[in-house]
Structures are given as structure tokens and as C-alpha cells.
Amino acid sequence: MQPTYTKYYYPYVSPFDPCKPILKKSYPTPPQLYMGFQPPNLPQFNPKEALYHGTLWPSLYDEYNKKDYRGDEHD
């Protein structure tokens, strides 16, 4: 099963929080946390794609988006 590279938690919200609370907060859990020793013969990007992605292997690629697009939720 493919792990997700973004996780969420729901911080405690106090009735006295001065700022608008973040209800759902994301944190990154990038692919290297799950691979262990990299298995041989994984699928590869073509050379040009690899150059753009910063890795030869799609399974090590993690697209990091700005927080606004990561699913964090404000009140």
C-alpha cells in the first residue's frame, strides 16, 4: 500500500485562542521515511524528467506544495 507523504493532525483549540485557529494542520512525511534500503530495479524517469525532478526514481519524488494547497484548514 502506497504511503501518503502528507499527514494531518487536529491541534487542540482553546476557547481563548487569540488568532483564528487552525483546525487541521499538515506535516510532511516524505518518501525516504518508508523505503528502507532502496530496492534494485525501481522504475525510472527518463533523463530529462529526472533532471527536472531531482531524482531518477518516481518513488523517491515528493512534490512539496505551499501550505495553502496542502489541505490545512482554518476555522
Partner 1 sequence: MWYYEKKLQYPVKVRECNPRLAKYLIEQYGGADGELSAALRYLNQRYTIPGKVIGLLNDIGTEEFAHLEMIATMIYKLTKDATPEMLEAAGLAPHYVNHDSALFYHNSAGNPWTAEYIQAKGDPIADIYEDIAAEEKARATYQWIINMSDDPELNDSLKFLREREIVHSQRFREAAEILKEDRDKKIFF
- The residues of the shown chain that bind partner 1, judged by CB under 8 A, are 1, 3-4, 7-12, 25, 27-30, 33-34
Long-range contacts of 31-37 (CB under 8 A, 24+ apart): 31/3, 31/5, 31/59, 31/60, 31/61, 31/62, 32/60, 33/3, 34/3, 35/59, 35/60
- Kindly tell me which of 29 and 56 has the beta carbon lying closer to partner 1: 29
The minimum distance between CB 47 and partner 1, in angstroms, equals: 30
- Kindly tell me which of 1 and 19 has the beta carbon lying closer to partner 1: 1
The minimum distance between CB 35 and partner 1, in angstroms, equals: 12
